Structure 1
Amino acid sequence: MTRLDVREVPPPERHPMIHEAFEDLEVGESLTIVNDHEPKPLFYEFQAEVDSFDADGYAVERVAPNEFEATFPKRSD
């Protein structure tokens, strides 16, 4: 599992960084991002644009008031 904390990354740079990290995964691996808000827009973006994103395996957990961990699993295309 790859973990990426994007809380300190400027917002315009977050999505490209996350997409790049996801592309580097092997099939069956997951990318967990740590964010300061629930990443619903990112989920919808992945669902619409990334064929290898396993939307059914997506999970998000609020671990603190400004800390969310979201897991984006990768499946074969």
Structure 2
Amino acid sequence: MAATTLDLRDVPPPERHPKIHDAFASLDSGESLELVNDHDPKPLFYEMQAEVESFDADGYEVERRGPTEFVATLPKR
């Protein structure tokens, strides 16, 4: 599965979700968006699950790689 990586750690918080939604919308079915973040993106998971029909919530994964590094994979159906 192809993945696009978006590192959000230096992006101001008010700009993060619009940037994520734009990047996710540009994906083709079967691709995924990999996010590198400074906190657990659990609220984003719930937002995507509720608002984005093409988000594959069952395939969502998040890995904590350090105290301020979380990597989440958001697959697109």
The TM tier, using the shorter chain, reads over 0.9
Matched residue, 2:67: 65
Matched residue, 1:5: 7
Structure 1 length as normaliser, TM-score? 0.97
Matched residue, 1:25: 27
Unaligned runs of 5+ in 1: none
Q: CA-to-partner distance for each residue in 1:27-72, whole Å, 9 max, x for gaps? A: 0000000000000110000000000000000000001110000000
Identity %: 72
Following TM superposition, the consecutive aligned residue runs of length 4 or more in structure 1 with deviations greater than 3 angstroms are none
Structure 2 length as normaliser, TM-score? 0.97
Unaligned runs of 5+ in 2: none
Matched residue, 1:38: 40
Amino acid at match of 1:5: D
Superposition RMSD on alpha carbons, in Å? 0.3
Q: How many residue pairs get matched?
A: 75
Task: Look up the SS of the partner of 1:17 in the other structure.
Answer: helix
Matches of 2:70 and 2:30 in 1, distance apart? 22
Task: Look up the SS of the partner of 2:36 in the other structure.
Answer: strand
Task: Look up the SS of the partner of 1:45 in the other structure.
Answer: helix
